[in-house]
Structure 1
Amino acid sequence: MTNKIPVTVVTGFLGSGKTTLVHHLLQNPNGKRIAVIVNEFGETGVDGEIIRASCECPEEDLVELSNGCLCCTVQEEFLPTMLTLMERKDKIDHIVIETSGLALPKPLVKAVNWPDLKPHLTVDAVVTVVDAVGVATGEICDRERVKAQREADDSLDHETPIEELFEDQLNCADMVLISKKDLVDAEKLADIQQIIQGKVRTSQVKIMPIEQGKVATEVLLGLNSQSEEDIENRHTHHDDHHHHHAHDHDHDHDHPHDHHHHDDHIQSIVVDITVPHTPETLQQALDQLVKEHTVYRIKGFIDVSGKPMRMIIQGVGDRFNKYFDRKWKAEETRKTQLVIIGEDVEALDLKAIIENHLKVCI
């Protein structure tokens, strides 16, 4: 055990606060040399860029894997990345993997048991981040709606793919962090904690409310859960109907392709905004987009005219926040670029929709 590098898997639904948590950890490493792997749903790595802009970790210690499915990219990206990190294990104290918001952590934890990785790694903990506001408003777990539907017809399974994902991420957790506690009142927070306690697999799972991603490093790291040793006891809705097929590759072991995105209708698209806009009018246009279509997550960069700084915009449902993170680099092309994640968004001309709303806002 002593020669294994501990790995913390940070999971949670889109916009739950995973990147904010990792960002705070890297700014407060408490003397630990931390390598980070950021896995995003989509081809543009906004989360990795946010982390890179605000941390001082070596470039080789921050790795981005795109398109959201760690187990689909294992043979091409993830496994080689981990083996490369192992070559520098004397310079790394801890590895943090931030999964896509649509990913199940279980296949990733199982991967640590592969012969190439098991001698070198152990899963220190699976940390699931839960958006307090999302639960309180029913965006993630609408208990009243489900209860009403089941009372009307108890033969139907009314759980949505999002609710299944919420439960699966909780059932795999060694620790649950309830983010954005400052945005809900004490009664709502207590209700959220009760919901989570009813979904985690054991009372030993620590549940802790946080805000702004602030968790002491010694609390977040060093749990020594060895999650890979009992991963088969962490059941998910997909355990009975995973599609398993071995990939052909140069290694002498097979690894399953676990379909760990819950809904093929949830898609990601990158949109460049080219018509005139301000941060305020862009947010108004995005507010309108969210009202008209099922959009779970919006994140990206805004080119603010006359300002040397790049602006970040983050949206979860109809909740948005904006802030400047760093100066534009001389070699960068300044542009407003958004990653939009939602249901069947690839079939929409999102650029035209947003820009038409902008023309009305101006």
Structure 2
Amino acid sequence: MALSCAAEACDCEPWKEKHQEAQGALAEGRNFEAVQLVNASLEAYESLLKDADVQTGLLASDSSRFVQDARSKLSESQAVEIADIYTTRAEVLMALGGLGRALTELKSSLLLAPGNERATRLNEHCAELQAATKEAVKEWETDEAAKKVPVYMLTGFLGSGKTTLLNHILNDMHGKKLAVIENEFGEIGIDDALIATRQDLGKEHILEMNNGCICCTLRGDFIEGMQKVLKDVRARGSHLDAVFIETTGLADPSPIASTFFLDQFMRENYRLDSILGVCDTKHVLSQLTDLRADACVNEATEQVAFSDRLLLTKTDLCTEAELESVTQQLKRMNPYATLLPLNLRDTEKPLPVEDLCDVRAFSLDKALEFDSTFLDEQDDHVHDPFIKALGVKLQGSLNQDRLNGFFAEVLKRYPKEMYRMKGILDVKGIEERYIFHAVNCHFGGVPQGAWSSDTARESRAVFIGRGIDHVWIVDRLRLCFEAPATGVIESNVKSAHS
């Protein structure tokens, strides 16, 4: 009722209408809607400042910088009005638990309008809440969040080592009841077959999501999958100790993370414990500077900036100088993240799971500081349309020597454009599955794991790159069959946003 009354009473400018609607939503406890409404109010108000010579885009996104730039250029009435909107946004953020960002908004409000009594009162209350919250964090066991299932998101660019890390974690957490959400870029999945087999981690606890990205096209499917996993477990009278999400290497973690706040079911049943960013130290600097098509996000940059832990893999391939350069760049991009070098090839050295899990590292304040629109409905994420995944299925044994020649030819032709190759192959003369990985020009392949006795042997491979001639790859791969005349290839090409 409050919202409709506000709307009826407001025969005025759009920014005022949105502001009143935001206050109505806040009064009714619709806090996430209130965030979007108050941001819309600020965006509408910015259109009134065209003649004020202020930097555009800051009013809604960065209150501190806006006040620094525009304080002396605003009229007294404008300063009071903007301060009032900032105060409302602070009140909404306090209701959501974003106390640090709320204090920033209140500081900006008081700089614009020092006599704002509501801002003064909220500022004192918010500071008290923040101090009390720091003490309450020490009592995790009594916290309501302890009843929710912790979720760990593994992010990182193509070939950084996410699946290898996940296998280490799953083996280390033996006996725990876990679920795994596996998202792959492309229609043909590979990683699900590479996840460590555990007798207590049944197939019903592994959800494979291919043919899209859960940060955009599959976000609705992702929420439905998370609902199904939890409901199935509870229907059996069991429980979940944790959920691990391995995102595609081309995923932006921000829209995925916001789902845990924007969706009611996710908010009430799960808590995002931490985002684990896996960084291939040999290639991460080139990945961070890789150019993208206009308006397309560089996912590697987003992955680094949004992570709570940055896990440095393949450090043995770097010199000390290279490692120092990588470390300094990552610290500049994300000063909040903890950097942990990991040698995933050393099976004798235990993985420091205690530094990765149940650390409650994800912070709404940090997320809002990096992206002020974090709590808005995010539907504008755009992947580079020139990055595509070629998925192939092959029926018929492959010749080892011809395969070696094929891989050498591909890497020579596309030394930088081919970001990732991976697959499980049926090679004549090798009884086990032949598993291969390639990141840029680094290639490796080993026989590993027996073929299933329930199904016929079928090779699967994925090639991900920018500007790749997929027809050429299929034609060259066809020559790798032991008997090319009888070999069968199925192929498809997908872009990240399709």
Asked if TM exceeds 0.5, the reply is: yes
Larger radius of gyration: 2
Q: 1:264 aligns with which of 385, 408, 414?
A: 385
Q: 1:34 to 1:118 in 2, by over 3 A?
A: same
Deviation at 1:222, TM superposition (A): 1.0
Alignment partner of 1:188 is 2:333:
no
What residue identity is the alignment partner of 2:464?
A: I
SS in 2 for 1:304: coil
Q: 1:212 aligns with which of 337, 344, 355?
A: 344
Counterparts of 1:9 and 1:27 in 2: how far apart (Å)?
17
Unaligned runs of 5+ in 2: 1-144, 483-498
Alignment partner of 1:288 is 2:409:
yes
Contact 2:397 2:428 in 1 (8 A): no
Counterparts of 1:296 and 1:30 in 2: how far apart (Å)?
33
Q: 1:25 aligns with which of 153, 158, 169?
A: 169
1:72 aligns to what?
Answer: 217
Deviation at 1:31, TM superposition (A): 4.4
2:306 aligns to what?
Answer: 172
Deviation at 1:227, TM superposition (A): 3.7
Q: 1:84 aligns with which of 228, 240, 250?
A: 228
Counterparts of 2:194 and 2:462 in 1: how far apart (Å)?
13
Question: CA-to-partner distance for each residue in 1:144-172, whole Å, 9 max, x for gaps?
Answer: xxxxxxxxxxxxxx844699322211110
Q: 2:265 aligns with which of 113, 116, 137?
A: 116
Deviation at 1:53, TM superposition (A): 4.4
What residue identity is the alignment partner of 2:379?
A: H
Question: CA-to-partner distance for each residue in 1:98-139, whole Å, 9 max, x for gaps?
Answer: 00000000000000111121011111011110101113xx54
What residue identity is the alignment partner of 1:295?
A: M
How is 1:90-109 mapped onto 2 (pairs within 5 angstroms)?
90-109=238-257
Q: 1:356 to 1:59 in 2, by over 3 A?
A: closer
Deviation at 1:283, TM superposition (A): 3.2
Contact 1:287 1:318 in 2 (8 A): no
Deviation at 1:296, TM superposition (A): 0.9
SS in 1 for 2:344: coil
Contact 2:252 2:299 in 1 (8 A): yes
What residue identity is the alignment partner of 2:306?
A: C
SS in 1 for 2:264: coil
Q: 1:55 to 1:100 in 2, by over 3 A?
A: farther
Matched length: 323
Counterparts of 1:25 and 1:197 in 2: how far apart (Å)?
25
Counterparts of 2:199 and 2:323 in 1: how far apart (Å)?
31
2:160 aligns to what?
Answer: 16
Contact 2:185 2:210 in 1 (8 A): yes
Deviation at 1:358, TM superposition (A): 8.4
1:140 aligns to what?
Answer: 287
Q: Which TM-score applies when normalising by structure 2?
A: 0.60
What residue identity is the alignment partner of 2:278?
A: V
Q: 2:429 aligns with which of 286, 306, 323?
A: 306
What residue identity is the alignment partner of 2:242?
A: H
Deviation at 1:271, TM superposition (A): 2.4
User: Aligned Cα RMSD in Å?
Assistant: 2.8
Deviation at 1:30, TM superposition (A): 5.4
Q: Which TM-score applies when normalising by structure 1?
A: 0.80
Counterparts of 1:326 and 1:276 in 2: how far apart (Å)?
17
Question: CA-to-partner distance for each residue in 1:254-288, whole Å, 9 max, x for gaps?
Answer: x5434253x11111111245687444541331221
Counterparts of 2:161 and 2:362 in 1: how far apart (Å)?
24
Structure richer in strand, relative to its length: 1
Contact 1:268 1:346 in 2 (8 A): no
Contact 2:281 2:326 in 1 (8 A): yes
Deviation at 1:40, TM superposition (A): 0.4
1:149 aligns to what?
Answer: none
Deviation at 1:327, TM superposition (A): 1.1
Counterparts of 1:280 and 1:183 in 2: how far apart (Å)?
27
Deviation at 1:19, TM superposition (A): 0.5
SS in 1 for 2:424: strand
Deviation at 1:54, TM superposition (A): 6.5
Q: 1:276 to 1:86 in 2, by over 3 A?
A: closer
1:148 aligns to what?
Answer: none
Counterparts of 1:33 and 1:298 in 2: how far apart (Å)?
32
Counterparts of 1:40 and 1:217 in 2: how far apart (Å)?
24
Worse-matched range after superposition: 280-289 or 65-74: 280-289
Considering Cα pairs closer than 8 Å and 6+ residues apart, tell me whether 1 or 2 has the greater RCO. Answer: 1
Contact 1:30 1:217 in 2 (8 A): no
Q: 1:4 aligns with which of 129, 148, 153?
A: 148
Deviation at 1:175, TM superposition (A): 0.6
Contact 1:109 1:228 in 2 (8 A): no
Deviation at 1:347, TM superposition (A): 5.2
Q: 2:450 aligns with which of 327, 331, 338?
A: 327
Counterparts of 2:203 and 2:309 in 1: how far apart (Å)?
29
Counterparts of 2:363 and 2:403 in 1: how far apart (Å)?
43
Counterparts of 1:285 and 1:314 in 2: how far apart (Å)?
14
Q: 2:180 aligns with which of 36, 39, 50?
A: 36
Counterparts of 2:242 and 2:312 in 1: how far apart (Å)?
23
Counterparts of 2:363 and 2:408 in 1: how far apart (Å)?
40
